[in-house]
Chains A and B, each alone.
Chain A
Amino acid sequence: MSPAFASMKRAAEQPMQYAADWKARTGRKVVGLLPMHFPGELAHAAGCLPVVLQDDAEPVTVGQANVFNFYCGLNRSLIDQTMRGNFDGLDAIMFGDHCVQLLGTADVIRAERPSLPILFNQLCTTLDANWALRETLGTFEQLWKELEDLTGHEITTSSTLASIRLFNRSRAQMRRLYEMRRRGEIAISGRDMQTVVKSSMVMDRAEHVALMDELFAALPRQVGSSSDITVYLSGHMCHAPKPAIIDAIEESGARVVNDDLYVGWRFIHADMDESLPPIEAMARWYLDKNRKLPCPTRTMQGIDWEDYLLGEVERSQARGLIVLMVKFCEPHMYFYPEIKEAFDRAGIPHLLIETEHEEMPMEALKTRIETFVEIAKRRADSKAA
């Protein structure tokens, strides 16, 4: 493991520890971000460390008194972590999303930590409405002011532009890594890819960018085993799937070539336009997101997640699709049947794995994945013949 990667891994595994060290080092503020559409750029421009709040591996214990067990693992874990004091190092939380479960979580955090400011600015949910741009601009202007109040100093246009450039550069680096994997130039495991993206969500971006440069220099160029069957991973809109699940997929003779996971391609796929005034760049970035990668939490007529997936599976020459569905994730549950039917019609093998925050029966899961890989192989062979 290269030293650069080892640093990323530390940050990804202990994000709040990383944030505490950063704060001690810089004396600046740490802002937690709830997924999934809010730009960290603004908090960065305000001189803060934006940290996308992650679920952690701990089972939900004290949190149970504040959240029902029919909420998704991210929400339950966030509440549990709040009550365990994990987020006590945060100076504020920025939050603008529309998943009903997250709204409840934010309220529990507010009740448990009344002195922690929550900068709630709800984004326009109808991306193609004729008022969407006006509203979104207003939302980000409001947030701009609130961050100024939080830090006590002005956020300048030039610092915001610099943050946008930095974040664009960071995303471009990670996309390059994705591209190399897709072309089979490097063998990077799904677990390691997750570490790369997750660490970018929680680290100082400039530091992450420097580590990425080191990583590229040290990456061994090798090709994945040609006997592996290529698969595409989809789902997990708000947080990272357990690495053990990705391991199980790869140990079953599959090679992940692409994904639309939040801790993955979804997080890095779109840049902000550096030629626009920063507020407008952010607004357009948000409003155009669905055209580039559809998100089931943001419906838009004429934009279909299943069509995107069919196209991407073909482009990345994946032989099958594995859907990782977070248990109790409503946006995903609505759209899964659409995906299933589209893939059935196209004759592309697909497998649904429902993931849980708690321990999962990995042995049974492995058997299912192995069967799926066998089917995908047979299908691929018969196509080739």
Chain B
Amino acid sequence: MGSHVMDNVVAMTGSRPVFGTGERANKLKSTRFGSKLVNDYWNGVFAAKEEGKKVVWYNGTYIPPFFHSHDLVWVHGEAWSAMLAARHQEVGAQARGDQRGYDRELCSYARTHIGQMLIEMDKARAEGGAALEDPRMEAMMKLPPPDMIVNAYPYCSSGQQWDDITYRVFGKKVPMFTIQIPLLWGGRSDAGYMQGEEWHQRSRYVADQLIELTRFLEANTGRKFDFDRLSDTMGYIKKAAELRLEGMEMCKARPAPASFFDWIVSIAPMSFLPGDQNIVDYFQGVKEEITQRLLAGEGAVKNEKYRLFFDGMMNWNKVGWLADKFAQVNACVVAGRYTHMSFWQEPQLIDLKDPILGMAQNYLVCPNNHGAPIMIGEIEKHCDYYEIDGVVCHASRTCRGMTNSQFLIAGSAKKYGRQAMFFEGDVADESFYKDELLNVRLEAMVEAMEAKRRAA
């Protein structure tokens, strides 16, 4: 998977599930600053063409520092789809995709994004009868059309195909650059997390491609790439990443002062917002609030009784809903594969004097870019650290990138005496979510955790 991100989720009024204690999640207040940042970012995107900026559409991992350092505006396909889904505005785009014949079993991020592109095209054609080349076309589209497409997808093959369709929708004219972020299969005898021959070889391979990316950007803008600026940008990102990890580690406390859902809304700042002082301020604020809660003994879930790990891609239609759902059974989802194992997860690897290799390595450690044994070993470490009672797997219907190893993950949870459960849903297609199933399984899991505790 790549970095699938969104703006801060506004809790939907009236969308609270009637379930359990009726308690609601005690969300961090400091994450609200992220909403402003995200809004500013999208406004910048929408104004890009007026400001004479070139626009890159990209999918996959967190490569915006390259765009930021080269004064480009960037649009992340997954972020766009996730945002539409979080705002419950995805249906129209998906219907347009259906109409063109995209099967509903296809990645709903891709379907939503492609559907949206088609709608924009329809609009432009209907309003102005404009051809793609017509300069009026740009003004009519909300999302500025791409001047370049960059694909940098770890693990999931869907990303490259999705970008190829984007390339086609825009008339096969937009220059496209594809970075291969290869899977770390971990089959050789010296393989381990961030070690072994494969790790070093693959790190170099991705780093070389990132250098090629800078040449691609130079060739398509006629400007020299500024590596010093990349280092500056990465300085902010590294700092923000460190603050984020420090904040996460503090959630080992009982009750955990922040939950997985707070970290979910903190993905955008870490994943695609500009690398500047704002993101440092954002994570500084988050960390401070966590510190205060820690001192006050305040938890993200009132009466935290159980601690859970969330596996799988986020269900963006249901962020607030799910946060409340778990709070209602006194369960705090403390950590997750998606939040805690990705997005500049290893900032110490980044050498600010020459950041590219460390950047490549951070892209490679995307949470499912490892073969299952190493990836699951990392999940187990998180579960041990946060003293997790149970693992909840979101079987996101159209995302094989994140569902691939879930049976093995559930198996490892059980092996170490943790409960495990699945619930159905999807990243951006609400129709796959079954609330009743989640209720029944969650209740059963809570009972099992309770029984285990009584027996202990």
Contacts and interface: CB of A to CB of B under 8 A. Distances in A.
Interface of A: 65-68, 70-71, 98-101, 103-104, 107-108, 110-111, 117-120, 122, 124-126, 129-131, 135, 296-297, 299, 301-302, 327-328, 330-331, 333-338, 340
Interface stretch (B134-142, B204-212, B252-260, B275-283): B204-212
A107 B397 CA distance: 19
A71 B106 CA distance: 11
Given A122-B185, A333-B106, A100 B401 contact: yes
B167 A301 contact: yes
Interface size class of B (residues with CB under 8 A): 35 or more
Contacts of B371: 107, 110, 120
A370 to B, nearest CB: 23
Interface of B: 100-103, 105-107, 110, 155-158, 160-165, 167-168, 172, 176, 178, 180, 182-183, 185, 187, 205, 208-209, 212, 371-373, 395, 397-398, 400-401, 403-408, 411
A276 B105 CA distance: 43
B187 A68 contact: no
A122 B155 CA distance: 11
A338 B168 contact: yes
Given A330-B400, A337-B100, A131 B407 contact: no
Contacts of A117: 187
B105 A125 contact: no
B205 A68 contact: no
A336 B101 contact: yes
Contact of A70 (B105, B165, B372): B105
B107 A330 contact: yes
B297 to A, nearest CB: 41
Given A107-B371, A334-B102, 13 more contacts: A70-B397, A99-B157, A104-B404, A108-B407, A129-B209, A296-B161, A299-B178, A328-B105, A333-B103, A334-B164, A334-B165, A336-B103, A337-B102
26 contacts: A70-B105, A71-B400, A98-B160, A100-B157, A101-B404, A104-B400, A107-B372, A107-B405, A110-B372, A111-B373, A118-B187, A119-B187, A122-B185, A125-B178, A125-B180, A126-B178, A131-B212, A135-B205, A299-B160, A328-B105, A330-B157, A331-B161, A334-B161, A334-B165, A337-B102, A338-B168
A107 B168 contact: no
Which of A70, A107, A129 counts the most B-chain CB atoms under 10 A from its CB? A107
A110 B106 CA distance: 27
A71 B396 CA distance: 12
Contact of B161 (A66, A70, A330, A340): A330
Contact of B400 (A100, A129, A131): A100
A39 to B, nearest CB: 19
Contacts of A125: 157, 160, 178, 180
A122 B103 CA distance: 28
A327 B172 CA distance: 28
A68 B403 contact: yes
Contacts of A108: 407-408
Nearest to B188: A146
A261 to B, nearest CB: 19
B125 to A, nearest CB: 15
Q: Which 7 A-B pairs have the closest CB atoms?
A: A104-B404, A337-B101, A299-B164, A107-B372, A120-B185, A334-B161, A333-B106
Given A125-B180, A333-B103, A100 B156 contact: yes
Contact of B407 (A67, A99, A120, A337): A67
Nearest to A79: B407
A122 B182 contact: yes
Given A103-B155, A103-B404, A301-B167, A334 B110 contact: yes
B347 to A, nearest CB: 27
Nearest to A336: B101
A98 B161 CA distance: 11
B388 to A, nearest CB: 21
B172 A330 contact: no
B452 to A, nearest CB: 23
Nearest to A334: B161
Contacts of B167: 301
A336 B371 CA distance: 30
A103 to B, nearest CB: 6
A274 B401 CA distance: 39
Nearest to B401: A100
Contacts of B395: 68
Contact of A120 (B180, B187, B208, B398): B187
A241 B429 CA distance: 30
Contacts of A328: 105
A100 B158 contact: yes
A340 B100 CA distance: 9
B360 to A, nearest CB: 14
Contacts of B163: 299
